[in-house]
């Protein structure tokens, strides 16, 4: 397994938690890390009745440390790069977006929120407008389809163990033959040749982590039920959470107050290590004997 990316990924629900941010910032200084804000966090901070108020509160601590804050690239962009070259991404951050966000933070620290207002009234408002109920319905359809696919792979005994110990059993399933096959097939379905899919499945790639996160969301719904009656917006929120889990699982740490997201992140980390070992053995002795 490659070394984790040198970031602490920050869930938007922790941006207003002063003590947690202080600890994370202290660790960044001691260990030469940076805080990584996922690209999708902007939507969550904006899909509220008063986005300006929410953004101000959320950035009130971070604006004093712009040099320690980075913004991620879109996961779709990173995955396209990985599938095209067959290697896990070396860079997660959006350099231009990080620079512009740093300037916004510096202005906020000086009492000038003009850049923040311009962002909220411009690109952010456009983003929220484009994310419609149709998108949420499409997201729910995706998870329903995945749940159906995964239900054929799991016994009631497996589901019972998952309900009792979600983190451990989810990691176990993700590193089973079925779990590894799911990740491999998802990557090939999205355009990678078999050789590239194997390489991406065996390393700390965004593609493998994203496929695993989709499976994790679907497995949770399969184990605990309620997907049919769940509002589509709830499923969309699950996919936003998946972005944090994906980036967190290949980074040093995920800072979140969401217990289910924390369990998924830990499961993805364990799965990454075990899947890497499985693929390494497959290369040494042949897949049939791994």
Question: What is the average pLDDT across 10-17?
Answer: 93
Whether 175 and 212 have beta carbons less than 8 Å apart is answered as no
Residue whose entry in the numeric block shows the structure tokens 């992140």: 265
Q: How far is residue 221's CA from residue 223's CA, in Å, rounded to a whole number?
A: 5
Residues 6+ apart with CB under 8 A from 202: 275, 276, 278, 279, 280
Question: What is the average pLDDT across 254-272?
Answer: 89
**274-289 confidence digits (pLDDT tens):** 777 767 776 655 544 4
What number of other Cβ atoms are within 10 A of residue 28's Cβ?
A: 20
Question: What is the average pLDDT across 250-264?
Answer: 92
Instruction: Tell me which residue of 264, 167, 155, 166 sits closest to 214, measured CA to CA.
Output: 264
Residue whose entry in the numeric block shows the structure tokens 């290949």: 250
pLDDT band at 129 (very low <50, low <70, confident <90, very high): low
Q: Is the pLDDT of residue 132 over 60?
A: no
Q: Where are the beta strands (DSSP E) in the chain?
A: 5-10, 34-37, 69-71, 251-255
Whether 104 and 119 have beta carbons less than 8 Å apart is answered as yes
Pair of tokens at residue 55: 């953004």
- End-to-end Cα, the chain, rounded Å: 17
Looking at residue 124, what DSSP letter applies?
I
The mean pLDDT of the chain is: 88
**207-243 confidence digits (pLDDT tens):** 999 999 999 899 888 888 899 999 988 888 888 889 9
Residue 78: enclosing H or E segment and its boundaries? Answer: helix 75-85
Residue whose entry in the numeric block shows the structure tokens 């040494």: 284
Q: How far is residue 121's CA from residue 36's CA, in Å, rounded to a whole number?
A: 24
Question: What is the average pLDDT across 3-28?
Answer: 95
Instruction: Tell me which residue of 275, 278, 274, 244 sits closest to 261, measured CA to CA.
Output: 244
Q: How far is residue 49's CA from residue 10's CA, in Å, rounded to a whole number?
A: 22
Share of the chain above pLDDT 90, in %: 54
Residues 6+ apart with CB under 8 A from 54: 45, 46, 48
Looking at residue 11, what DSSP letter applies?
-
**83-96 confidence digits (pLDDT tens):** 999 999 999 999 99
Q: How far is residue 82's CA from residue 282's CA, in Å, rounded to a whole number?
A: 21
Residue spans per domain, the chain: 5-289
pLDDT band at 130 (very low <50, low <70, confident <90, very high): low
Predicted local confidence at residue 287, as pLDDT: 47
**50-69 confidence digits (pLDDT tens):** 999 999 999 999 999 999 99
Question: Rounded to 5, what percent of the chain is helix, strand, coil?
Answer: 70, 5, 20
**144-201 confidence digits (pLDDT tens):** 999 998 888 888 888 888 888 877 788 888 888 888 889 999 999 999 999 999 999 8
């Amino acid at each position: 397994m490659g070394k984790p990316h040198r970031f602490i990924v920050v869930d938007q629900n922790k941006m207003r938690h002063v003590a947690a941010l202080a600890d994370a910032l202290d660790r960044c200084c001691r260990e030469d890390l940076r805080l990584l804000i996922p690209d999708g966090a902007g939507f969550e901070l904006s899909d509220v009745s008063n986005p300006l108020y929410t953004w101000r509160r959320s950035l009130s601590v971070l604006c004093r440390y712009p040099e320690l804050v980075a913004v991620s690239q879109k996961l779709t962009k990173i995955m396209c790069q990985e599938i095209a070259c067959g290697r896990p991404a070396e860079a997660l951050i959006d350099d231009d977006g990080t620079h512009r966000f740093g300037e916004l933070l510096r202005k906020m620290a000086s009492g000038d929120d003009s850049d923040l207002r311009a962002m909220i009234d411009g690109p952010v408002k456009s983003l929220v407008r484009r994310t419609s109920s149709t998108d949420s319905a499409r997201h729910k359809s995706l998870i329903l389809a995945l749940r159906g696919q995964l239900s054929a792979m799991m016994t009631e005994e497996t589901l019972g163990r998952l309900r009792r110990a979600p983190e451990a059993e989810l990691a176990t399933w993700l590193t089973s033959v079925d779990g590894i096959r799911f990740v491999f097939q998802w990557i090939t379905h999205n355009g990678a040749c078999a050789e590239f899919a194997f390489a991406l499945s065996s390393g700390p790639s965004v593609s493998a982590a994203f496929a695993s996160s989709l499976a994790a969301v679907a497995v949770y719904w399969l184990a605990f039920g309620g997907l049919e009656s769940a509002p589509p917006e709830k499923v969309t929120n699950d996919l936003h959470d998946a972005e944090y889990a994906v980036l967190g699982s290949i980074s040093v740490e995920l800072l979140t107050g969401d217990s289910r997201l924390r369990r998924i992140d830990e499961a993805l980390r364990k799965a990454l290590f075990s899947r890497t070992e499985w693929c390494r053995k497959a290369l040494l002795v042949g897949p049939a004997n791994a």
